[in-house]
A and B are shown apart, each in its own frame.
Chain A
Amino acid sequence: AQRVTQPEKLLSVFKGAPVELKCNYSYSGSPELFWYVQYSRQRLQLLLRHISRESIKGFTADLNKGETSFHLKKPFAQEEDSAMYYCALNSGGSNYKLTFGKGTLLTVNP
């Protein structure tokens, strides 16, 4: 069965510091991975997906199949990045049946 692990429940950094949110996965098939973000009192929204290989709001994530990881990184954190971040794995193909990690609450301090 697939599994997504986010080892850090909480992560606190200062503004301007680099940030890395860790995500490891376990899946027998070819993984499709995502990062979702939930700002305070807002709904979950897609931040980025590995197949797009894009940078959104300064965040990037690289799929490392050897280490089964998909860590989210940003070189200079901003206060508005404070949010809950969820790593997710799609095991449902075009149906997007996602398995979520437990989430990491990122706090960026001024």
Chain B
Amino acid sequence: DTGVSQDPRHKITKRGQNVTFRCDPISEHNRLYWYRQTLGQGPEFLTYFQNEAQLEKSRLLSDRFSAERPKGSFSTLEIQRTEQGDSAMYLCASERGAGNTIYFGEGSWLTVV
């Protein structure tokens, strides 16, 4: 257990439904990252927050995806109108300032049927 918590761990949803994942980073970690990992692939960067500011967004983050970190603590990743191609594990990671070790959560598995 790295201290980064993700919820839910598993989610099965029907195509077209909206889903939301939550990440609680390690306390006092001001940087928070979201990644997506599909079967047989390495994780792919989606977006990154420093405190409550979203500083980087990947082109992978289509307009159906939105991420927030309203108070600079926990973060949510919402996927609207899910598609089968969204099936993946969504990983959250946190970091205590630049240049420090990045800690990953155990991921949230999404299956779109």
> Are chains A and B native binding partners rather than an unrelated pairing?
no
Chain A residues within 8 Å of B, Cβ to Cβ? none
Chain B residues within 8 Å of A, Cβ to Cβ? none
